């Protein structure tokens, strides 16, 4: 790529642009000064009866073409397009973007600042803030979570009470700012488990939500679950916040069918939510958090714990979250 930003390519682009415009002017002048015989043909015939007449170009068309060429030269003097020459106006797309953002910040900054100073639950109840948050949601979140926030297969529903990483305002904001990575390891690749064992596990997992399953497979799967799954999902399959989803609440991200559960256990799952904190900024993240919280699935702010665990120790102790739910 370094070859394409060398001095040669600057000369090449500038020369090509200049020669092209001059060539158009010369061609037009040559055609205008050529000898014509109005009403006569050039002798060229196509499709038996389609003939080319020796008529001059209309004057209005010629002058319009001249004006276009000279306007092109004027444009290249004032704006970039002639190699690395920046143009007399010094215009750049980045500069225009920065100017527009500056004007937008001057106009909307006080509004964002006003809501930023308010509690998330209060912002969620404000009609103006809700409308602004909805526009942000429809711009950055609708592709995965849907216009109504109810998600789809593989993408979490933000309107229910099922949250893998927690649904308090603080936890929702953290998800938006830093993104989330969730991985469930594959159990049938090495394989850790045989095909029949995976089917037994699938039957037991279905039974946790009251779904129909073969009783023998459920019994065998329960024994396997303690050894293969309980470390993340808990002995009763109810999961842990930030670690693994609840398998007993009848909420499924990838479907509750035996085929889907078997596929999940066999191949594992991996989900990633991108981080928006740096891109959106604190004020927009606050509005977006309030909107998501106000969709109906948010939970009250968590009470401050009596004791905290050092972040480094907590990070070492916690296993990777399983990608099955929010």
Look up the CATH number of the domain holding residue 212. Answer: 1.10.760.10
Helix (H) or strand (E) holding 180: strand 180-184
Q: Could you tell me if 284 and 171 lie in one domain?
A: yes
Q: How far is CA 208 from the centre of its chain?
A: 35
The boundaries of the domain holding residue 14 are 2-78
Q: Could you tell me if 162 and 204 lie in one domain?
A: no
Q: Is residue 47 part of a domain?
A: yes
Q: Could you tell me if 148 and 221 lie in one domain?
A: no
Q: Could you tell me if 192 and 208 lie in one domain?
A: yes
Q: Is residue 219 part of a domain?
A: yes
Q: Could you tell me if 294 and 165 lie in one domain?
A: yes
Q: Could you tell me if 280 and 177 lie in one domain?
A: yes
The number of domains in the chain is 3
Q: Could you tell me if 195 and 212 lie in one domain?
A: yes
Q: Is residue 179 part of a domain?
A: yes
pLDDT tens digits for 76-94?
999 998 888 888 999 999 9
Q: Is residue 318 part of a domain?
A: no
Choose one of 241, 267, 293: the last residue of a domain.
267
Q: Could you tell me if 166 and 209 lie in one domain?
A: no
Is residue 243 over pLDDT 80? Answer: yes
pLDDT band, very low/low/confident/very high, at 7 (cuts 50, 70, 90): confident
Q: Is residue 192 part of a domain?
A: yes
For residue 112, give the nearest of 135, 139, 146 by alpha carbon.
135
Is residue 318 over pLDDT 50? Answer: no
Give the total residue count for the chain.
Answer: 326
Predicted local distance difference test score (pLDDT) of residue 3:
55
The DSSP line for 76-99 is: HHHSS-BTTB--TT---HHHHHHH
Q: Is cis: bond before 264, omega within 30 of 0? A: no
Q: Could you tell me if 14 and 112 lie in one domain?
A: no
Is residue 324 over pLDDT 60? Answer: no
Which range is least confidently modeled, 9-13, 76-80, 164-168, 282-286? Answer: 9-13
- Has this prediction a pTM greater than 0.85? no
Q: How far is CA 50 from CA 39, 47, 101, 176, in A?
A: 14, 6, 58, 67
Q: Which residues contact 27 (CB under 8 A, 6 or more apart)?
A: none
Q: Could you tell me if 295 and 163 lie in one domain?
A: yes
pLDDT tens digits for 46-57?
888 898 888 888
pLDDT tens digits for 148-192?
999 999 999 999 989 999 999 999 999 999 999 999 999 987 768
Helix (H) or strand (E) holding 137: helix 127-140
Q: Is residue 320 part of a domain?
A: no
- Rg of the chain on CA atoms, in Å: 33
Q: Could you tell me if 39 and 168 lie in one domain?
A: no
Q: Is residue 86 part of a domain?
A: no
Q: Could you tell me if 252 and 211 lie in one domain?
A: yes
Q: Is residue 161 part of a domain?
A: yes
Choose one of 267, 288, 317: the last residue of a domain.
267
């Amino acid at each position: 790529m370094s070859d394409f930003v060398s001095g040669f390519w600057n000369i090449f682009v500038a020369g090509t642009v200049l020669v092209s415009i001059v060539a158009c002017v010369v061609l037009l002048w040559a055609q205008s000064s050529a000898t014509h015989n109005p009403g006569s043909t050039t002798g060229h015939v196509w499709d038996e009866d389609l003939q080319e007449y020796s008529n001059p170009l209309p004057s209005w068309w010629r002058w319009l073409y001249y004006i276009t060429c000279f306007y092109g030269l004027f444009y290249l003097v004032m704006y970039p397009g002639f190699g690395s020459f920046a143009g007399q106006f010094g215009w750049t797309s980045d500069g225009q973007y920065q100017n527009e953002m500056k004007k937008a910040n001057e106009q909307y900054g006080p509004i964002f600042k006003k809501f930023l100073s308010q509690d998330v639950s209060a912002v969620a109840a404000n009609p103006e803030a809700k409308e602004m948050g909805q526009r942000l949601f429809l711009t950055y979140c609708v592709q995965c979570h849907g216009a109504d926030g109810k998600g789809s297969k593989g993408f979490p529903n933000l309107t229910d009470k099922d949250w893998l990483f927690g649904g308090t305002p603080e936890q929702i904001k953290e998800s938006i700012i830093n993104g989330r990575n969730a991985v469930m390891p594959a159990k049938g690749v090495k394989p850790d488990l045989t095909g029949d064992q995976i089917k037994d596990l699938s039957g037991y997992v279905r039974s946790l939500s009251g779904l129909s399953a073969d009783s023998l497979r459920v019994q065998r799967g329960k024994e396997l679950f303690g050894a293969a799954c309980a470390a993340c999902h808990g002995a009763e399959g109810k999961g842990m916040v930030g670690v693994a989803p609840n398998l007993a609440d009848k909420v499924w991200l990838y479907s509750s069918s035996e085929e889907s559960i078997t596929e999940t256990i066999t191949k594992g799952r991996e989900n990633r939510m991108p981080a928006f904190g740096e891109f959106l900024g604190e004020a927009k993240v606050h509005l977006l958090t309030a909107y998501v919280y106000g969709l109906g699935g948010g939970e009250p702010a968590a009470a401050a714990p009596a004791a905290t665990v050092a972040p480094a120790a907590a990070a070492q102790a916690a296993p990777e979250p399983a990608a099955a739910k929010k």
